[in-house]
Homo-oligomer: A and B are copies of this chain.
Amino acid sequence: MTKKATQLAYIQAYEYIRDRILNGELERGTKLVEERLAEEMGISRTPVRDSIRKLEQEGLIKDKRVVNPSDSDLRDVFQVRTLLEGFAVRHCAMYMGEGDLDKLRNCVEVGRTGTMEQVMAANKEFHEIIVGATNNPVMIDIFERMQSIIYLFRKTVVYHKRPLLIDEHQDIYEAIAAHDADEAERLMKAHLQLDLEFCLNRMKG
């Protein structure tokens, strides 16, 4: 019994467009024409419009174009991200149980030994576990939305492994495991700051 994929056209359209944006096939700034996309997918404009509206709300599309975030936009996102993850990691240091701690440690491990794809997934998961541990759906939702933008931005720098990234994750993990909330928060903020600067610098090249 194979898991039945969603048959609804507007969901299909949403995933299709979203994936094409995130993997870079639809470049930043590209104008999205409803009819062209509809034809491309063999459906009508109606569900395509729905999905475009949704992606607009999520911030991946702006004025019918794939968003093209400026340095300033990215800074704004990171400022909020730093706030949320700073809070979240503090929460982790105080309350996180063994299960999640194991998962975090595993992310660090994969970060050192895995393939490129595995490393990227593990890095993403590392942050998701931390934010998820707050158990606050509002916060998680905001975080996930920002992830899309960040991923979009990072797309072009994906093959430039940032040095020290895994070391920083390990340090954060250790601070959490040691229940040192202040240190965990401090390390997380520094980590995100470096990440931001790496992104911004790479964009210029």
Contacts and interface: CB of A to CB of B under 8 A. Distances in A.
Interface string A31-65: 00000000000000000011001100110000000
A136 interface: yes
Contact of A83 (B53, B76, B77, B83): B83
Interface stretch (A117-125, A137-145, A162-170): A137-145
A187 B50 CA distance: 43
A79 B142 contact: no
Contacts of A54: 53, 57
A146 B138 CA distance: 9
A192 interface: no
Contacts of A57: 54, 57-58
